[in-house]
Amino acid sequence: MQVLILGNGNHTKKRILPALRSIRSIENIVIADKNTENNEKIDSKLEIRNFNKELKNNEDYNFIIIATPPYNHKNSLLDVVNKSNNILVEKPISNDINFIFDNEFKDLKNKYNIFESLMYFHHPLWLKVKDIIKENKIIKIFSEFSVPHLQDNNYVYSKKLGGGSLFDQGIYPVSLALEISNNVNKIKKISVIKPKEYEVDLGGNIELILDEDIEYFGKWGLGKEYKNYLLLESNDGTMFHIDFIFSKPDDLISKINVTNNNTISEIEIGKFDQFQNMYQDIINGDLDRFEYSNSANLLGRYNLIQEIIYSIN
């Protein structure tokens, strides 16, 4: 089994490669890096090739991961779409919203399995959260994903490279809202933080009514205190608090804290690598786990993102 990765940045080194290396059925990992002149064999499983010179036209892959900066996702996808039936694009699919709604992309989606990489939906924690929502009358939902500032040269601070907090952090609470319910009954509020000294947005929040009566509050930010949680409130006052709902260290034992009438209990989920789970779902052909990336769900998500972009501009 052979996998191709486009891009050799920190995310590839720290998250993608360790997860792929732990999957025994993957025999060869090729990294395509536009800044590399030579074909470099790292070990028996990994090699780095120059993207322009050393990717063979007739070479096929079991799946491809696009991990370049967002501005390049569209072109990268078009460059390699004929090399695999399964293409996983790091979020966002593209920062070119028009492309996502274009017939060209629709045709590609009909022909190939093109997924957006939202790995937290592949963690057993999410399955338990869905059960809790199904089994309880949830009336309020709060989620937030905020992180401290990154290095100054990180692409997230560059408008040209498709940066900004919306596409980096905001896509998580936005996607979560639409996985809880595809029916956004009402957008109550959208606000975006865009300081004058930055060329990109640094955060925002949304208030939605899901279905008929679920209040949803989503927040995100860059250059803020680290927050990564989901809070569910049911009509009987029970609170379900989930830390690290979006991003999780591999050695984290995921838990759900339940508070009811001053009684606190805990549901332990366990340790899992959600990136490995996501890649394994592709290998196993368990494509139902990518329901969030089907055409209807994808367009619904980006319709809401587009509303937020209007607020930025």
| Co-location of 90 and 130 in the same domain | no
What are the tens digits of pLDDT across the range 36-52?
Answer: 555 667 777 887 777 66
Within a domain: residue 257?
Answer: yes
Q: Quick one: angle between helices 171-180 and 295-312, nearest 10?
A: 130
State pTM to two decimals: 0.93
CATH number of the domain residue 19 falls in: 3.40.50.720
Claim to verify: residue 208 and residue 140 sit in the same structural domain? yes
Q: What ranges in 81-123 are assigned the alpha helix state H?
A: 97-100, 103-111
pLDDT digits (tens, 9 = 90+) for 8-34: 888 999 999 999 999 999 999 988 877
Residues 37 and 171 occupy one common structural domain = no
Between the alpha carbon of residue 262 and those of residues 139, 236, 238, 241, 295, the distances in Å are 19, 13, 9, 14, 43
Do 41 and 108 belong together in one domain? yes
Q: Does residue 292 fall inside a structural domain? A: no
Q: Does residue 294 belong to any structural domain of this protein? A: no
| 25: containing domain | 2-117
Torsion of the alpha carbons at 34, 35, 37 and 41, rounded to the nearest 10: -80
Q: 148: which 2 tokens?
A: 């401290």
pLDDT digit string (tens) for the chain, length 313 residues = 999 999 988 899 999 999 999 999 999 998 887 765 556 677 778 877 776 655 666 688 999 999 999 999 999 999 899 899 999 999 999 999 999 999 999 999 999 999 999 999 999 999 999 999 999 999 999 999 999 999 988 999 999 999 999 999 999 999 999 999 878 889 999 999 999 999 999 999 999 999 889 999 999 999 999 999 999 999 999 999 999 999 999 899 999 999 998 899 999 999 999 999 999 999 999 999 999 999 999 999 999 999 999 887 7
- Euclidean distance between CA atoms 121 and 230, whole angstroms: 13
Q: What is the CATH number of the domain that holds 126?
A: 3.30.360.10
